[in-house]
Amino acid sequence: METEITIYHYLFIGLILFLMGLLGSVIAKNVIKVLISIEIMLTGINLNFVTFGTFCGGNNFDGYVFTLFYTGIGAVEFGIALFIFYLMFQKKESENIERYSDL
Amino acid sequence: MISTNPIVFYSVSSLIIFFTLFTLFAKKIINSLLASVLVFFLAAVMFYILGSEYNAIIQAIIYGLAVPIVIGLSIMFTTGKTENIKSYKNALIIMTFGFAFLLFFIDSVIFSIINLPDTFNITGINQANAFNVLSAFAKGIFINYVLGFELISLMLTIVIAGIVLIKNKKSSI
């Protein structure tokens, strides 16, 4: 019997990444860790896009293009979020996310 | 359709899960950052396994190099001024996840070795043609999704202008 890696294996890994990123963004107390968790969620989404682009796209590869867009947007969003965090940090002087409830 | 070696897939996916858990539950934020870099690199490996070399390179460059530098700088700027944050970690949760990961890893490796394919092909038999992927990128960006591409460009320009405005407003205060 030969094991074969199917589309469901990759989708499962993408789902796991998304769920763990969601868990981290909910339970983490550190703002930077929350942002990293959001990036992990985005990575899981990108993995699903690439999986669908490979297995279901045929010759279109639209999933790859969407992944390209998401990677760029995710990086920019991360930079903006860190910038806002840094501005707020100068006032709050804390990384604890509970201090940022008035954001 | 691609055919991936199960050993490679299970190894990479197990490492992704392990380092993601380490990212979430690491005590120090710098350890969390290093583990997240490994997660992003392993995701790039997964993209490569799936046949998308361009996305793998972009993922490795942006998330593996550029983003960690920005995070590291922000950690450097905020180190030493922080209050002690109470750790949320629960040792039982970590041990449960670690044990489940260990079982999953051992089981998958043994299962893969038992059912080893005849030829050890790391990345797969039928990789997508690189030229087709490149032309698909060009077609997607400049023909099919040109409106979205232009909107993203506009959004990034607005973001840059917004950053400058916020910074000037902050410094004037």
Chain B residues with CB-CB distance to A78 below 8 A: 67, 70
Give CA–CA dist B162/B155, Å, rounded.
10
Task: Look at residue A48 in the predicted model and tell me its pLDDT.
Answer: 93
Query: The complex's ipTM?
Result: 0.90
Residue B121 has pLDDT above 50, yes or no: no
Cα angle for residues A84, A89, A92 (degrees, 5° grid): 130
Please state the rounded mean pLDDT for residues B85-106. Answer: 64
Please state the rounded mean pLDDT for residues B88-113. Answer: 66
Given a contact cutoff of 8 angstroms between Cβ atoms, the answer to whether B131 and A48 are in contact is no
Residue B95 at interface with chain A, using a CB cutoff of 8 Å: no
Give CA–CA dist A29/A25, Å, rounded.
9
What digits encode the pLDDT tens for the residues B149-160? 888 888 888 888
Please state the rounded mean pLDDT for residues A48-73. Answer: 83
Lowest mean pLDDT among A22-31, B52-61, B105-114, B134-143: B105-114
Position with higher pLDDT, B170 vs A32 = A32
Task: Look at residue B126 in the predicted model and tell me its pLDDT.
Answer: 47
Please state the rounded mean pLDDT for residues A72-97. Answer: 82
Lowest mean pLDDT among A34-38, A92-96, B65-69: A92-96
DSSP, collapsed to helix, strand or coil, labels residue B173 as coil
Average pLDDT, chain B: 76
- Whether B115 sits inside 8 A of A68 (CB atoms) is no
Task: Look at residue B119 in the predicted model and tell me its pLDDT.
Answer: 46
Chain B residues with CB-CB distance to A64 below 8 A: 52, 54-55, 133, 136-137, 140
- Out of B32, B58, B155, the one facing A71 most closely (by C-beta) is B58
Long-range contact list for A16-23, CB < 8 A, 24+ apart? A16/A44, A16/B16, A16/B17, A16/B20, A17/A41, A17/A43, A17/A44, A17/A47, A17/B16, A17/B20, A17/B39, A17/B43, A18/A44, A18/A45, A18/A48, A19/A44, A20/B17, A20/B20, A20/B21, A20/B24, A21/B20, A23/B24
Residue B50 has pLDDT above 50, yes or no: yes
Chain B residues with CB-CB distance to A69 below 8 A: 145, 148-149, 152
